Amino acid sequence: MQQCVDKLLQGLEEFDEPAAFYKGNRIVQANQKFAELFERDIAEFKDLPIIDICHNESIEMIRDFIRRRARKDVDVPQHYEAAFRTTNRSKVMMIVDVLKLHNTEGGVLAILHEKG
């Protein structure tokens, strides 16, 4: 599984897509474009709680989506807007696309783009 995630994140990076793979409420791995978007070192994302990069106004929505995905709720949005925090900016609106991946034990791929 890890090799597939590595290749997927690398492939997305080649197309300038900031992406991270997460399980439950923690980021497992991110690509360099994702790290650049959040103005952090790529190593900082290993096992980082997703809430640590969320702006306060989006925390409850993101927590709700995580809980619902864990229950396999098929009505959780796969495309939405949310507010996040970067190292130097306290609030950044982003467009989020979430893809459930098969054979990853509940893993999810998130692709983010700054809105605007």
Residue 107, H or E segment: strand 107-114
* pLDDT at site 1: 57
Region of poorest pLDDT, from 4-13, 16-25, 62-71, 78-87 = 4-13
Q: Is the pTM of this model over 0.85?
A: yes
* 21: number of Cβ within 10 Å: 25
* pLDDT at site 5: 80
Instruction: Give the phi and the psi of residue 114 in degrees, each rounded to 5.
Output: -65, 135
The pLDDT tens digits of the residues spanning 27-71 come to 999 999 999 999 999 999 999 999 999 999 999 999 999 999 989
pLDDT band at 7 (very low <50, low <70, confident <90, very high): confident
* pLDDT at site 52: 96
Task: Look up residue 106 and give its DSSP letter.
Answer: S
Task: Look up residue 54 and give its DSSP letter.
Answer: B
Q: Give percent of the chain with pLDDT exceeding 90.
A: 79
Q: Alpha-carbon distance 94 to 78, whole Å?
A: 13
